[in-house]
A and B are shown apart, each in its own frame.
Chain A
Amino acid sequence: MQKRTDLVAKFSTFLEVDDAKDSLDLGWYYVPKLKHNMRQRRESDRTAKEEYWAKVILREALASAPLAKEHLAAYLEETAYWTVMKMRYKLEGYQLRKVDFFCMAREATSQPLQLFGRYDDAKSGVKTFAEKTLEDYLSEQLFKGRERDKYSPTGLLRSLSYLELEKTLKKRRFSPENIQAYRLLLKCFKEKYVPTKKSGSRALQPPDSCQLQAIALYYNQWRSPDFPDLTPEQVQECLNNFVSWVRGDAKVYFLSLEELLTKGEEKPSDSPDFSQVSEDEQERGQEQELNQILSQLFEELTPQIKTLLELVYGLNINQGDLCNFMGFEQQPKLSRFLTKTKRNLLTKFAEYAKKNWEINLSSPELNKLVKLINIWLEKHGSLRFHDLLNAKLGALDADDFRLLKLIYGCQLSLADVSENSQLSQDEIKARIKQIEVTLQDTLKSEVETLCSGGTEEMRSLDKRVVDFVEVYLQQAPYAVWESKLKKPDL
C-alpha cells in the first residue's frame, strides 16, 4: 500500500479493494466531494498541519457534522489497513478473509463514537489513539461474532446486553420510547425465564407457554402507560425479532463508501485553538524518553527472555511454538511466564514513573503505562528483524531494488513496470519472488540462531515470516518515493 503524503489526499481518498482477489492493494481513489471540501479547508489555513486537521475533523465528527465523519474515515483508512495487516494471523483462526476483515475495520472507523469515546486530544494523536482502540474493537467483534454463531436463540437472548439491544434498535431507527419498551421486555425475559437444559445438552431450551405468560404479565405490570399490554404470543414474536436482528447485525457488513457520503456542502467550522506546538513534536519528545527507559529495563532481562519477547511481539510467533525454546511443557505455563515478565516490567516502569514524573499512581495510571509498554514491545520487538532486512535490502542489486520500489513503493502494476523495463511480467514476478524468499530465509536463519537451532516445532514461523516480509516490503523506506513513471497524482 502506497502511503499518502498529500494533506488533501489523506482526508479524501479511500483504498480500492478487490473482493474477488481478496486484495487491499489496488491504490487510492478520491471522493470528489471530500476532495473539494478538504481543499477549501486547506485554503482557509495553509499553515495548519495534519494533526491539527485530524483533531478538528474528529471533534466535528463526534458532533455529527456533515462530511466530518467521512473525512475521518478517509483519514483512518491507513490505520485500518495496517491494523488488519497486523492482526491477520488471527484471521486463520476465524476463517475470515482480509477484505472482510478490512470492511469490519472500515465500519468501525465510520463510527467515531465507537473508537473515540474516551479520546483526550491533549494526550494523544488521533491515529495513535485509533490504532489501539481499533485493534481492541476488531478483536472483540471477531470473538463476539463467532460466539454468537454458536448460541441457541435462547442462549443468545440470555447473552444479549441492554446496550447491544439498544444499538441494534437504533440501527433500525426505533424511537427512544420504543427502545425503552423493548429494553424492559428483555429485562422481563432475563428475570422470568427459567433456563432449562436437557441432560447432556448445553443449549438452553426456549421459554415454554407458562414462562411466556409470566414474562408478559411482568412486562405488563411495569410497562409505560403509553404502550399496550403484550400477549405471550407477542412476547414470543418480539424475542424472535431480537434474535434475528442481532444475528443479522453480527454478519460481516460490507460498508459501501457511498453509504458514508452525505448530501450538501459543509463550511469549515470555527477551529478551536489547539496548541501551536505540534502534537508530533510533543509525541516525539515523550517517545524518546519512553524508549530510553524501556530500553534500559529491557536490557536488564536475560538474553533468553529478550529473545522470547522479540519473537512474540516482533514476529507474532505463537506462544505454543515457543514452549520448547523456553523449556516449558505446555503453552499455559509459557503464557503465565510471559504475564509475569510483563508484570515485572510494569512494576519497574511504574516505580520509575512515580519517582521521576511525579505521578500519583492508580490503576488507571498504571493502565496507561502498561499500554505504553505493549506498544513499545511491539515496535522494539521487530527492530532487530527490520534492521536485518534493511541491511539485506541495502545490499541488493540496484535493478532488484528498483523493482521493489516500483512494485511496492509506487504501487505500479506489473504491466506498467514491464513496459518501462527490459523484463517481461513473468520475469519480474520471479525476481520479486526470489527477493522475498531471500528475505524470508534471512529472517528464519536469524530466528534459528537466536533459538540455537530449535525451530522445528515452530509451526507458525514460516507463515509469520512471510507476513512480516510482506508488511516490511510495503513499509520499507523506498515506499515514500515517487516513481518517475506515470501514476495517480497523490
Chain B
Amino acid sequence: MFTIEDLTELHPDRLWLSFSEEQREIAWQYSRLFSHAYSQWNGYLNRLAINAVIPGLQEELDLNPTIWQPNSLPSFWENVNGTRLLINDNYSVVIIPSETVDTEEFRVPQEWVDIPSWVANYYLAVQVYPEAGYLQVWGYATHQQLKNQAVYDEFERVYVLPKADIIDDLNVMVVAQELCDTEIAFVSPLPPLYQNQAERWLEQLSSNTVENPRLAMPFYQWAALIANDKWREELYQRRCDRLSTQIRQSFNYLSQWLADLALPEWQDFRGLWRPRQMEYRGKRVDLRGETNRERVAYWVDVILGKNSEELWKTSAQSLRYTTPGNPRVIEALVNLLAKTTEEETRWAAAETLWLLDPENPAAGIRKVKDLGMEITGELLSLMVAVLPKGANRFAVFLRLYAMGEREFLSPGVQLRVWREFLSPGVQLRVWDEMGTLFDSATARERDNYIQIKLSGNLGEWLNVEVKWGENSIMEGFLI
C-alpha cells in the first residue's frame, strides 16, 4: 500500500493529502443529513475534501483559506458539488471533489461559474479516494478558462475542461495571485425571481419525486433561487423535512431532544440514579446538600443577590439535596440558568434542578444510553444533557459512568468528543470543525465518572468516542 510519502515521491507534481479512518467515519455520518443518495454522497465527498484540503493549502502553499458561508454548507451540498473558500479579500477558490480515478477532464457545475456571487478566481480539481484514505489535488483552472475554453455539457450542466488545459502546478496559482489579474470572465447578472415564483418552485422542488432539483427547472431560474441565501436554506429544510422523522429516527439530534424526540435507545436519566457519594478524580465528594432552612435561604439569597459566578456555583451545589419541589429554590435555580455565563455554574444549577424539579423545562433534557458490553466487559453508560442557551446555542454535558456492580471506571477509560472528527482512543476530546482537538477526559483511579462540558450552535456536529484499550464506541450528535 502506498503511503502519502510514497505517492509524493512517485508523483511529486501532485498535492497528496490523507484523511484518517475516523475522519472518514465522521464524514460518513455527516452525510446522512441529506435528503437523497446523490446529495448524501456529495456531502460525504465534500466534507472529506475540505477537511483535508484546507489544512493542505495552509501547510503546502502558505495560504489561509476560510470557508465561505460555513454555516450553510449543507444547503449547498444538498444540491451542488463544490465548496467555495476565501483566500483573501480579492481571491477565492472553489474546491470540486470527484471520485473518478482518471483525470482526463475537469467537470465544474455551472452554478459555480455562472452565478455572479458564487464565482471564484480558481477552481481546484480534487480526486478523492475514500477507500484508500487519501486525495490528490491534481490541478486547477481559472474562471476565464472555464467560461472561454471549456465545453458546456447541458445534460449535466457542467463546464468540462480537458486535462491538457488544467494547470497542474499549484505554485502557479499562488504566483498568479501576485502577478496576474483576477482571471474572472464577465458573468451576466441573473434574471430576477419573484417571491411568488420562488415559493412555487420551492413547493415543487421539495417533493419526494424530485431527485435532483438542479436539473428540474430552467437553469437561470434555478440559479436565482439558490443564489438567494434564504431560499436556498428553505429548500434544504423542506427537502430534509420529509426526512426529519427519519433523521430523528437515525440521528442524535440534540436540539430535538428538548421536544422529546430522542432515539429510543436513549433513556430518561432518572432510571439510572447514582448513589449519593460519588468519586471524581480520586476525591470522595460528599453529595449531601444543605437541608437547614436558614442555610437554604442564605444560598438562595446568594444566587439572587450576589454577582459572583463562583458563589453562584457553590450555592447551586449546596442546594442539591434540599427538599424536592421547594419553589423558592427552584425559582432561584431557573434564574441562575438564565443569567450565568459560565458553563460550570450552568451545569451546577442544572444538576441541582434535575434533582429538585426534573420536569422543569429550564432543566433541559438528560438522557442516558447503556453502552453495554461493547468495551471488553466494561459496563459503561453515557449520559448526555442538553440545555438551551438562547440564540440557537446549546450547552451540552457529557458524562461517562461505570455501571452495574462496578462502582468505578477502569483507569484509562477515555471519553473523547470531536466536533468533526473522532479521535481513536478513549479520551473525551472535542474537536472543532476542522478536526482540532477541543477537550478530553481520562478516567483515573476510583472515578465514578468522567465528563466534558461544551457549547455549540444549532447545526453543529459532534462526535463522541468512548475508548478503552483497543476498543472504542462512537456516537454522533447533531446540535
A163 contacts B104, CB within 8 Å? yes
A331 contacts B173, CB within 8 Å? no
B179 contacts A347, CB within 8 Å? yes
A346 contacts B40, CB within 8 Å? no
Q: Which residues of B contact A139 (CB under 8 A)?
A: 10-11, 13
Closest beta carbon of chain A to B413's beta carbon, Å = 21
Closest beta carbon of chain A to B205's beta carbon, Å = 16
In this complex, the interface size class of chain B, counting residues with CB under 8 Å from chain A, is 35 or more
A159, A195, A202, A354: the one within 8 Å of B179 (CB): A354
A438 within 8 Å of B (CB atoms): no
A363 contacts B167, CB within 8 Å? yes
Complex: chain A residue closest to B128, CB-CB: A159
- A64 vs B61: C-alpha distance when bound (angstroms): 43
Q: Which residues of A contact B212 (CB under 8 A)?
A: 191
- A250 vs B174: C-alpha distance when bound (angstroms): 35
Q: Which residues of A contact B7 (CB under 8 A)?
A: 143
Closest beta carbon of chain B to A380's beta carbon, Å = 17
B8 contacts A362, CB within 8 Å? no
Closest beta carbon of chain B to A351's beta carbon, Å = 7
B439 within 8 Å of A (CB atoms): no
Q: Which B141-190 residues have C-beta < 8 A from chain A?
A: 141-142, 144-145, 156, 162, 164-165, 167-169, 171-176, 178-181, 183
B174 contacts A331, CB within 8 Å? no
Q: Which residues of B contact A361 (CB under 8 A)?
A: 176, 179-180
Q: Which B62-103 residues have C-beta < 8 A from chain A?
A: 62, 98-103
In this complex, the interface size class of chain A, counting residues with CB under 8 Å from chain B, is 35 or more
Given known pairs A151-B131, A346-B171, A366-B175, the reply for A339 and B38 (CB within 8 Å) is no
Given known pairs A150-B132, A362-B144, the reply for A191 and B176 (CB within 8 Å) is no
Q: Which A257-301 residues have C-beta < 8 A from chain B?
A: none
Complex: chain B residue closest to A142, CB-CB: B10
Given known pairs A161-B102, A191-B212, A350-B175, the reply for A363 and B132 (CB within 8 Å) is no
Q: Which residues of A contact B172 (CB under 8 A)?
A: 346, 363, 366-367, 370
Q: Which residues of A contact B100 (CB under 8 A)?
A: 159-161, 164
The prevalent SS among residues of A at the interface is helix
B167 contacts A204, CB within 8 Å? no
A152, A202, A343: the one within 8 Å of B174 (CB): A343
A332 contacts B5, CB within 8 Å? yes
Q: Which residues of A contact B103 (CB under 8 A)?
A: 140
**CB<8 Å pairs between A and B, sample of 30:** A117-B164, A136-B168, A139-B10, A142-B10, A151-B131, A152-B131, A160-B101, A161-B98, A161-B100, A161-B102, A161-B105, A164-B100, A164-B104, A193-B37, A195-B41, A202-B133, A218-B211, A339-B61, A343-B171, A343-B175, A346-B172, A350-B175, A362-B176, A363-B122, A363-B141, A363-B145, A364-B165, A364-B167, A366-B176, A370-B171
Given pairs A133-B164, A335-B8, 4 additional interface contacts (CB within 8 A): A159-B100, A161-B101, A331-B5, A339-B171
Residues of B within 8 A of A (CB): 2, 4-13, 24, 28, 37-38, 40-41, 44, 59-62, 98-105, 122, 129-133, 140-142, 144-145, 156, 162, 164-165, 167-169, 171-176, 178-181, 183, 211-212
Residues of A within 8 A of B (CB): 90, 93-94, 117-118, 133, 136, 139-140, 142-144, 146-148, 150-152, 155-156, 158-161, 163-164, 187, 190-195, 197, 202-204, 218, 318-320, 331-332, 335-336, 339-340, 342-343, 346-347, 350-351, 354, 361-364, 366-367, 370
